Chain A
Amino acid sequence: MNYGIVSQEQLEQIDRILTDKLIKLGVDCVIVIDMAGNIITAKDNGRNKYDVYSFAALAAGNFATVDAMAKLVGEEEFSLLFHKGQESSIHFSKIDEELLLISMFGQEISLGFLRLNVVDAIEKIKKLWPKSA
């Protein structure tokens, strides 16, 4: 699979989808990463600053671990993860075999509403993503 380079135009479109669908909704930070822990793109609301590079490395590891757990219980995959905290929570969702979408958000957003928007954003990103070469 060759996803190593994405054109500027594609990235801008992805950024626009993330901003429209998630940042405008009130999500603090949204990151698209690959399973190797690289950041494809990161958007935030300008108020919260996270160490996104370390975050990506840990998130990829976390997802891979959960994937291995899924196989152990006979599931093909657990395609989404949710970690709930007091002030902020994290939602992970698989875009495809190589990509993950991670949203960090506060108490003011309901999980259900976020999930609807994540699903919508993922559908749109999938259409843009270059198919394997």
Chain B
Amino acid sequence: MSFINLKEKVVQVKIVYYGPGRCGKTTNLEYINRTYRNQIVSEMVSLKTHGDRTLFFDFLPFNMGKIKGYDIKIQLYTVPGQVKYNATRKLVLRGVDGIVFVADAMAKQREKNIRSLNQLHENLLSYKESIFRIPLVMQYNKIDLKEHGIPILPTEVLQKDLNSRLNAPYFEASAVTGYNVAATLKKIIASTIISIQKKLF
């Protein structure tokens, strides 16, 4: 849940990047951290294993400027993607305002995407949230691999697998090159802010 400080006129918004292991959640945040350095006040926090896999979460706070006199502070989190870490994924989802679901467009990851999305649905239910109500953006990552001859799922297939009932906005993206990383971020911020406004007024 976003926290609104009426005294200092600050709104804190929590956005979580969710998805299967090695789909590119941390890479998304790293790209944002590099590209928007001047809007980011502090260092990105990464809690990872020796093998550079996210162990608990990555955290990247940045200021979005003012809306109606309120300072909007966006807090980006990732979850660990590995199957065994669901307890930690659940912890990070606590109080979430908006979600980017990062799917791995590689053909061999098809099933993992579906499984991860189903688990997101269950995890949200444990906080009495619904995947159908919470602001959500789909990102089909790694489409740059197509040029390297690696089999990629067509967007229509990903849409059918993951987004046929949710109907969330979606982007093809490449977190490594930065393609549509900013577009994804802007979309989730916009949807989340609109949803918070609706709750308030």
Q: Are B94 and A53 touching (Cβ within 8 A)?
A: no
* Given A7-B6, A36-B14, A53-B73, residue A68 in contact with residue B87 (CB < 8 A): yes
* Given A11-B6, A54-B42, residue A34 in contact with residue B95 (CB < 8 A): yes
What residues of chain A lie closer than 8 Å to B189, measured between beta carbons?
none
The reply to whether the CB of B91 lies closer than 8 angstroms to some CB of chain A is yes
Q: Are B94 and A35 touching (Cβ within 8 A)?
A: yes
* Given A37-B75, A53-B42, A68-B87, residue A6 in contact with residue B61 (CB < 8 A): no
* Given A53-B75, A57-B77, residue A38 in contact with residue B2 (CB < 8 A): yes
With A and B bound together, what is the CA distance between A6 and B1 in angstroms?
13
With A and B bound together, what is the CA distance between A4 and B47 in angstroms?
27
- Which residue of B6, B14, B43, B87 contacts A37 across the interface (Cβ within 8 Å)? B14
The range of chain B's interface size is: 20 to 34
| Residue contacts A-B, CB under 8 angstroms, 15 given | A4-B1, A4-B3, A5-B4, A11-B6, A36-B3, A36-B96, A38-B75, A39-B5, A51-B43, A53-B75, A54-B61, A57-B75, A58-B45, A61-B56, A61-B91
Which residues of B line the A interface, CB within 8 A? 1-7, 12, 14, 41-43, 45, 47, 56-57, 59, 61, 73, 75, 77, 87-88, 91-92, 94-96, 200
* Given A34-B95, A38-B14, A65-B91, residue A54 in contact with residue B6 (CB < 8 A): no
Q: Are B45 and A57 touching (Cβ within 8 A)?
A: yes
Q: Are B61 and A61 touching (Cβ within 8 A)?
A: no
Q: Are B73 and A34 touching (Cβ within 8 A)?
A: no
Which residues of A line the B interface, CB within 8 A? 3-8, 11-12, 34-41, 51, 53-54, 57-58, 60-61, 64-65, 68
With A and B bound together, what is the CA distance between A11 and B10 in angstroms?
13
Q: Are A51 and B6 touching (Cβ within 8 A)?
A: no
With A and B bound together, what is the CA distance between A35 and B200 in angstroms?
21
What residues of chain A lie closer than 8 Å to B2, measured between beta carbons?
4, 38
With A and B bound together, what is the CA distance between A61 and B90 in angstroms?
11
With A and B bound together, what is the CA distance between A51 and B43 in angstroms?
9
With A and B bound together, what is the CA distance between A5 and B199 in angstroms?
11
| CB-based nearest B residue for A35 | B94
Q: Are A12 and B7 touching (Cβ within 8 A)?
A: yes
With A and B bound together, what is the CA distance between A89 and B141 in angstroms?
42
| CB-based nearest A residue for B127 | A36
With A and B bound together, what is the CA distance between A38 and B95 in angstroms?
9
